[in-house]
Chain A
Amino acid sequence: MGFLAPLYLLLAGAVAVPLLIHLMRRKTGLRVEFPAARYLARAEKEHSRTLRIRNLLLMLLRVLALLAIAVAAARPVARWLGAGHAPTAIAIVVDNSLSSSAIVGGKPLLDQFKRMASDVLARATSADRVWLVTIDGNVRGGSASVLRDEVARIEPLAGAGDPAAALSRAAGVVRSAGLDAQQIALLTDGQRTEWQHAPQTGTAQLLLFAPGGAPPMNRAVTLAEPRPARWTPSGSIATRVQSRDSTTFRITLGTRTVARGTAAPNEEVVVRTAPPERGWVAGTVELEPDELAGDNVRYFAVWIGPAPGVSVAPSAGPFVKNAVDVLRSTQRIAEGNDISVVTADELTALPSLITAPTDLVRLGAANRALEKAGIPWRFGARRAGASTVRGAGFDGVTVALRYDLVAQAGAVADTLATVGSDAWIVVGPRYVIIASPLTPDATDLPVRASFVPWLGAVLTERLVGEPGQAIAAEPASHIPRPRWADAMEGPDGQRLPLGDVVDVPARAGTYFLTRANRRVGALVVNPSANESVLDRYTANELQALWPAGRAVAARDAAAWFTMAFRGAARRSLVGPALLFALIMIVIEAIAIGTRTRRAA
């Protein structure tokens, strides 16, 4: 309990008045002659106990009344039950993540959350400050009636959202209200994968509601991945299904079904195909609908095109020529001039896989060829000595001879491998540069087993077609804009220009990325596979994530409704204190009246 005007507590000193009166009452100075004093003494003797109790009671009533008045004047506030509530800043956080759309009891869980939020908002007074926060961190402010309309418009997200951001922003807005009573009222399904850590909620009290009972059974597609990322033209789709038993699935590509099958729980199923489509194509892996429909479909996108024709310059070395022959035999590439594999000094056109010249004297010609091709990289100093390559897929590869790769102005590239702190393989639009000749005396890469697959991936994924790729993202997330795209094509075909940061759509699906009105990639939006794991915390388990005393768990919806505006709110006790004082005064008046009547 606290006091808004504690100085008024000094009024409590007034209790000394009845105390003094009680103590001094027998020290009256008025003396009267009364011959029948013996009767009076006898009366007092026979009734002294009753009189003492009555006087003590009256003194106590007066003291309590004065104390209650003093306390009321000090404007006490405290946490307690009762009608009404003190002005409260409350942020209602509705977990509208994908898992909240699960059907429970015939209705989506989110509908229950929306009803509860609306009921609480209906209790808000004009002195309250209220906000509505969805689990993606979107904050809505305004009057309670406006927010009730907003509650009705809440739709489930396609993903997990950002619980930490949502609670952090909720804490921020209630803190900014400047009211003494602050509360964050959270409605969540308590999904364990969603609440692995307790987000910061500041000093505001967190009121939790999580439904009891077991979550519904759920089947979900947790993997839908084209392999490789670009098909030339054949490829495969890897998929995995989360369920308790075997589940039938369907794979679509474009507008047609390319495969149907049955998958065992958590078994990775790979379906090979050589579709006739070309360019960037969207596909799905689908299951039969269940209680959580949002994860029954998983999207993917793949570039499909003919096998590129690859030419190998003699200067590239025999190991490269042999590897290309192997790739041609698997029909992943063909013979032609779509892509060349050359040393830099013989570079004439792009796209190309470019290696360092085998002869130091050709270094100048190599740099001039790079400049002529518009590649912003140059070969620098020659480095000799065994070094280890670092990079994905290059474990154990050593380098004995290499050149420094010097970036020129405007160089933007991905570095696939490094030697020490120097780049060894860089990738740019329509080119891949290796800082060493692909000969055994310069590096052992050509003689390693991983060389052919790596070379195949470079030729068919890095250098074939338009520069671009399929980018995976979670719904309502934010990613930096890929430099090779300038717009995003929505489901309706409308293209939206991209800013520096791409706001990933909240709805799952494939959104093609374009450049100059040509599809150059895709943004594949799928929920996290974790979102399909519906295991829940109980309310108490969820409460335990936060430091003791910071969060309060409601045992059911009614308790959550009751505790909203109150759990954290310190209610004014002025009314109860005055009522208490009034009761004390009335009782005292009754006692005195009774005494007077009896005396009469």
Chain B
Amino acid sequence: MSLPLRADLFDPASLVALGRIEIVARWIVDGFMSGLHRSPRKGFSVEFAEYRPYQPGDDLRYIDWKIAARSDRWVVRQYEEETNLRASIVLDVSKSMAWSGAQLRAAGLQPNDSRAHSAGDRLTKLAYAERLTAALALLFLRQRDAVGLVRFDDRIRSSVPPRTRNGQWRRIVAALAEPGSGLASSAPNALQQAARLINRRGLIVLISDLLMDMPDIELAMRGLRAAGHDVTVLHVMDPAERELPSSGEALFADSESNLTVPATIADVRAAYKNTVDEVIGEWRTMFASLGIGYEVVSTDAPFGVPLRRAFAARQQQP
């Protein structure tokens, strides 16, 4: 028996090129689930729901050996889980998210990272985040969790209440296709909206590039935590945001804030990297002080990495 390739470990840009968002998300989740050799929770539920074909990576404890003996088919028993988890994914669709390092190379600034050859094919932060959102929603739904979606930029663009029913995932995928990419990011309102949609204690996953003011976020997060919600933040960053290109001079402009910074990259490259590390450290410290999970997600990292982080947060729920 040969091991199939796990889509959650694919290069994201290569994987996304293979199909639509629903297909890609399924591949991701399937690959991710197959990689879970042992669930930290013994069984998803206690009530039988259906059979499905065995997939490599499935726990052997759930193989129905009788059916296997009778029909020479390997199937896995699946159970209806009784869940009390309500999750809401809050996705930043502001204009800053619609950016990738490929724009720097197009402007003549040579990337410095070892993956420079693929920079031109790199996903924008938004494209990456949308696939990650779809996969994450599917993952939750497969665990019978109620999952919803809030998309925001300078205002709330989409809002899908958390549900577990069939078709919920399609609604979420359809919402992801709605227009967005406004100018600014207004996360506090989106987070409050997500909390309202959950109604009771739940899990809120914020997927954003966090190009926002920290005090506003901190205030909103305090409110969520005070309401008893668990929060996980996936900080999406393009590799070109972590490290500037190797050389060049340009006027770096942020359309969201109308901030323009002239810089000689060689002069500021080291300082910039230090600054980014400091900012990440500040976010991490702030979130840690509130008991909020925080993970930096690079758009060139396989989707399995943030999924694992979110799944770990899910597993911590009762």
Please give the residue numbers on chain A whose beta carbons come within 8 Å of chain B beta carbons, in ascending order: 25-44, 46-47, 50-51, 54-55, 592, 595-596, 598-600
Contacts and interface: CB of A to CB of B under 8 A. Distances in A.
Interface in B217-265: 241, 244, 246, 248-257, 259-265
B271 A47 contact: yes
Residue from the set A28, A41, A51 with the largest chain B CB neighbour count within 10 Å: A41
A599 B241 contact: no
B266 to A, nearest CB: 6
B209 A35 contact: yes
17 contacts: A26-B262, A31-B250, A32-B252, A34-B99, A34-B254, A35-B96, A35-B99, A36-B276, A40-B252, A40-B272, A40-B275, A41-B261, A44-B263, A50-B271, A51-B268, A596-B266, A600-B246
B252 A34 contact: yes
A32 B270 contact: no
Interface string B82-126: 000000000000011001000110011100100000000000000
In this complex, the member of B96, B209, B251 whose beta carbon has the largest number of chain A beta carbons within 10 angstroms is: B251
B268 A38 contact: no
A592 B276 CA distance: 23
B267 interface: yes
Most-contacted residue by chain A among B255, B268, B274 (CB, 10 A): B268
Contact of A34 (B104, B249, B269): B104
A37 B209 CA distance: 13
A51 B267 contact: yes
A51 B263 CA distance: 11
B279 interface: yes
Interface string B301-313: 0000000000000
B251 A43 contact: no
Contacts of B263: 40, 44
Given A40-B261, A43-B275, A54 B267 contact: yes
Contacts of B273: 599
Contact of A33 (B246, B255, B274): B255
A35 B266 CA distance: 19
Contacts of B255: 33, 35
Given A36-B241, A38-B211, 9 more contacts: A26-B262, A30-B250, A34-B253, A37-B260, A37-B261, A38-B259, A47-B271, A50-B271, A599-B269
A27 B262 CA distance: 8
A30 B108 contact: yes
Contact of B271 (A29, A34, A37, A44): A44
A25 B266 CA distance: 13
Nearest to A592: B266
B259 A37 contact: yes
A337 to B, nearest CB: 122
Contacts of A33: 99, 103, 253-255
B275 A28 contact: no
B275 to A, nearest CB: 4
B251 A31 contact: yes
Nearest to B96: A35
Nearest to A50: B271
B271 A38 contact: no
Given A30-B107, A599-B269, A599-B270, A25 B249 contact: yes
Nearest to B274: A43
Nearest to A42: B275
A46 B276 CA distance: 12
Nearest to A31: B251
Contacts of A37: 252-254, 257, 259-261
B268 A47 contact: yes
B42 to A, nearest CB: 44
A32 B259 CA distance: 12
Of A31, A38, A55, A595, most buried by chain B (CB within 10 Å of CB) is A38
B181 to A, nearest CB: 12
A182 to B, nearest CB: 53
Contacts of A38: 211, 254, 257, 259
A51 B275 CA distance: 15
B253 A595 contact: no
B95 to A, nearest CB: 8
A44 B99 contact: no
A28 B248 CA distance: 10
Contacts of B269: 599-600
Contacts of B103: 32-33
Contacts of A46: 271, 275
Interface in B261-297: 261-276, 279
A44 B267 CA distance: 9
A22 B289 CA distance: 45
Contacts of B244: 40
B253 A44 contact: no
B276 to A, nearest CB: 5
Given A41-B259, A44-B261, A35 B211 contact: yes
A150 to B, nearest CB: 66
Nearest to A597: B270
Contacts of B108: 30
Contacts of A54: 267
Shortest beta-carbon contacts, A-B, top 8? A599-B269, A35-B96, A37-B254, A43-B275, A34-B252, A47-B271, A43-B271, A32-B107
A135 B255 CA distance: 91
Given A44-B268, A47-B268, A28 B262 contact: yes
A588 to B, nearest CB: 13
Nearest to A596: B266
Contact of A36 (B95, B107, B211): B211
Contacts of B95: 35
Interface centre among B248, B252, B276 (most CB of A within 10 A): B252
A46 B255 CA distance: 23
Contacts of A596: 266
Contacts of B107: 30, 32
A35 B249 CA distance: 16
Contacts of B259: 37-38, 41
